[in-house]
Chain A
């Protein structure tokens, strides 16, 4: 499925180092820079931080989906990061977040973001998949769990 193309082994980190929301977000933007699709790192980080200020993207069950819109990308790009110890992301359920899926999409297009969220949420909604993600030992394994 084309929508899963944004997620590649290069944009997956199994061991995020940051201990704060800001540090995690910066680390994940750097993962996206590694994908080669971002023209302006600082513009992307700013978009993601501003979005986070409006309402935390920390959801439930350890999942956070930070995202932003900027014309620094031509198409939707995505990264996935794991921080087993968890970080306080101000999540809706009050629990620490340990699985982060970041998407950055162009200002002008709205459809792909909702589609990507739906695709990625199906496996993430499954507790056994979340447990396997947290135990994964390679980016390939993560991709396989999410994309099959």
Chain B
């Protein structure tokens, strides 16, 4: 499932695993929060679930992941601000997107 990933990108990218902790999962509001956070960074940011990767700057893309409560996702970020991007997105997951 990772066969088409470019080696150069993989080498430069950071990855962190996160879990969907809020009860309602990644519905519209959490997706919007993720997009707002992600668009603040220059580099490419992807979210992955079960081998499927989507652009973290696209709401409809995020919603296709079906990020239900308990789902395990990976954040991939590339570019000069990759570390800050991963930290910002992971923080939203950890804070349950400011909901239950």
Q: Which residues of A contact B (CB under 8 A)?
A: 54-55, 57, 59-61, 63, 65, 67, 92, 110-111, 113-115, 117-118, 121-122, 124-125
Contacts and interface: CB of A to CB of B under 8 A. Distances in A.
B63 A117 contact: yes
B65 interface: yes
Determine chain B's interface SS by DSSP, over half rule. Answer: loop
Interface string B69-97: 10000000000000000000000000000
Interface in B19-38: 23-29, 31-32, 35-36
Contacts of B36: 92
Contacts of A118: 63-66
B56 interface: no
Nearest to B22: A110
A117 B28 contact: yes
Interface in B47-67: 58-61, 63-67
Contact of B67 (A110, A114, A124): A114
B66 to A, nearest CB: 4
B60 A124 contact: yes
A110 B28 contact: no
Given A55-B32, A110-B69, A118-B65, A61 B60 contact: yes
A36 B20 CA distance: 35
B57 to A, nearest CB: 9
Greatest chain A CB density within 10 A among B26, B31, B60, B61 is at: B60
Given A55-B29, A114-B26, A117-B63, 20 more contacts: A55-B28, A59-B28, A60-B60, A63-B60, A67-B28, A92-B32, A92-B35, A92-B36, A92-B59, A110-B25, A110-B69, A113-B27, A114-B24, A117-B28, A118-B63, A118-B65, A121-B60, A122-B64, A125-B58, A125-B61
